[in-house]
Amino acid sequence: MANTNSLTSRQKEIYDFIRSRMESRGYPPTVREIGTAFDIKSPNGVMCHLNALVKKGLIEREAQSARAIQLVGYQNRPSRSAELPMLGSVAAGQPIAAVESDERLNFADLFCGPNHFALKVRGQSMIEDHIADGDYVVIRQQENAENGERVVAMVDGEVTLKRFYQQDGQIVLHPCNDTMSPIVVHPESDTRVLGVLVGVLRKVK
């Protein structure tokens, strides 16, 4: 167990933050994440605290990587997170300059959270919203929706992904495929919104 008695209160908070992220996610936070968590505006401000932790023998760092923080004497868990190197941006129109980035894209940060779940899409009713058969959709569980939101709804025990509209007490579930008709929900039907779409995942063959 590391001896943190020599740390200032802020250094101890940052050390505990790094440790908690490594224990919960399997990898350390970036300099930017530390700055955001502690409202430190400048990366140099974060680096001052990290350098102090290095000098006091509690962490080790590799200067060229934003996440290269290791806790001295701490056995890191193998990371089970879904994470890829984030190399920058790519143009879908006119080419843009290649700018190197040392960030990482973590899919848990994007799509995971309280009350989130995933479903596999079957059918083509949402194809005009670029949601195709075989895609995976990430849904945030909630019971209410605004008009026009894409929802997973249950109607008489069957679930469907559609755009939600309600007016004068009448619920209509619109497909995004002009070859299909809307589902006009009968007032006596057992209908519930299960959640709202927050993401779409597709593996290209």
Query: Do the Cβ atoms of 155 and 102 come closer than 8 Å?
Result: no
d(CA 97, CA 95): 7
Query: Do the Cβ atoms of 52 and 11 come closer than 8 Å?
Result: yes
What is the rounded end-to-end Cα distance, in angstroms, of the chain? 48
Catalytic residue set = 125, 162
d(CA 46, CA 49): 5
d(CA 140, CA 198): 6
Strands 116-120 and 183-184: what pairing? unpaired
Query: Do the Cβ atoms of 193 and 144 come closer than 8 Å?
Result: yes
| Closest of 28, 18, 40 to residue 106, by C-alpha | 28
